[in-house]
Each structure stands twice: as structure tokens, then as C-alpha cells.
Amino acid sequence: MKRVLFLGLMVTVMLAGCSKPAKTGAAGTNAEAMGPFDAPFSVFKSAFETKDYGKALAGLRSLMGTYWAESPLVLENPKFVKGETNSYGIYEPRENDVFTAGEPMYLYVEPAGFGVTRNPAGYYEFGFKVDFQVVDDGGTVLGGKTDFAVLPFKSWNVNTEMSLTFTYTLGGLEKGKYKIITQVSDTHSAKKATIETGFTIE
């Protein structure tokens, strides 16, 4: 019978590219007839055409804020990488998904579309709870943990470019093919997302 011993789990979080998307509100008497992206796009387009690049950038950030509110939680660019010290878009990909038993596995991911709230002090708050399971090639669950990572953040900006790196150190696995199923729950909304990452123990 296959058995998994979870020797160590660690999460590395890096924030980058701070931005501050603004929420869109009513824009004139016909706001209800407009789509959610019309007003911020109109601000961007008008400012860009008049070469008011500061105002145009604010319009782009407002567009991003509207997308962030409308989007589900998305876990982009999941991949095994060579280490735990990564930041958004700055990492060294691992050449393959083949590991030895007990070898640390570094799983990199870029969350997007998560909920953001502003506290009375003016900070923007966001965060995640993370569960995981390890399953074998036949789908049998071998182990896992609920809320193995609880990640609260606060920032003076809304960080739309960020990365998470999960470090899994698994022992007790026989040679074969497996999957790590990682579920990320947004702590500031009801949004959730799951990724399944295959790997091989040689």
C-alpha cells in the first residue's frame, strides 16, 4: 500500500509590480446603460489621444480594477521551478517533473482576480487559504492537508502582479506517477481555484 509522509511544507510569496486599480462608479446619467469597462476605457482613450499619459495610466489601472472584480480567481503559469526564492516572472523553470522520493518540489503559480478590500487605516487587504492532496496515477488520495497555508496580506497598493511558491517535501512514495492537487481559496471573496500538477517519482 502506498503511503505518503509529509516531511515539510513551505510557502514563499513574492509581490511585484504594485498597481492601484480604481473601482468604477457611475459616469454620467447613462451609466446604467454602459458596460462595466466602458467608462474606464473612455477615460484611457481620451487621455491617450490628448497625450495625458498620467491620466491614461490611471484609466488602465481602473480597467484592471474592473477586470479584477469581474474575474474568477485564476492561477496562471503553474510550473515546477528550481528554487523557492522567486518573484513575479522571475524564476528558473525546472527542465522536467521527475523527482526522487524526499526531494523538495517547488511549485510556482501566479494568482489573479482575487478579492481586495480596504481597511480603515487605508491599507488594501487580500489573502489566500491553500489545501492540497497527493493522488496516485489511479486517482487514490494518498495524503494532504486542509489550510496548510494561510496567507494574509496588506499593502498600500493593490498588487496585481504577485507569485506564490509552494515547497512540497514528500517521503514514502514508491516509484510512479502522481499528482498534487492544490486548491487556493480567496479569503476576501468566495472565489476558489484548483490546479493539478503531475510529477513522477523515479
Confidence at 22, pLDDT banded by 50, 70, 90 = very low
The pTM of this model reads 0.79
DSSP calls for 39-93: HHHHHHHHHHHTT-HHHHHHHHHHHHHHHHHHSPPEEEEEEEES-S--BTTB--B
Other residues' Cβ atoms within 10 Å of the Cβ of residue 184: 24
Q: How far apart are CA 106 and CA 112, in angstroms?
A: 20
Q: Which residues of 37-48 are buried (b: 16+ CB within 10 A; e: fewer)?
A: eebbbebbeebe
Least confident of 31-35, 65-69, 99-103: 31-35
For 103, residues 6+ apart whose C-beta sits below 8 A from its C-beta are 169
Of 89 and 22, which is predicted with more confidence?
A: 89
Does 61 have pLDDT greater than 60? Answer: yes
Q: How far apart are CA 95 and CA 109, in angstroms?
A: 16
Of 7 and 154, which is predicted with more confidence?
A: 154
Of 62 and 36, which is predicted with more confidence?
A: 62
Q: At what angle do helices 38-49 and 53-70 cross, to 10 degrees?
A: 160
pLDDT tens column, 112-141 = 999 999 999 999 999 999 999 999 999 999
Confidence at 9, pLDDT banded by 50, 70, 90 = very low
| Cell numbers standing for residue 147 | 489550510
| Cell numbers standing for residue 54 | 498620467
Is the separation of the CB atoms in 67 and 24 below 8 Å?
no
Percent of the chain surpassing pLDDT 70: 83
> DSSP character for 137?
T
Q: How far apart are CA 60 and CA 66, in angstroms?
A: 10
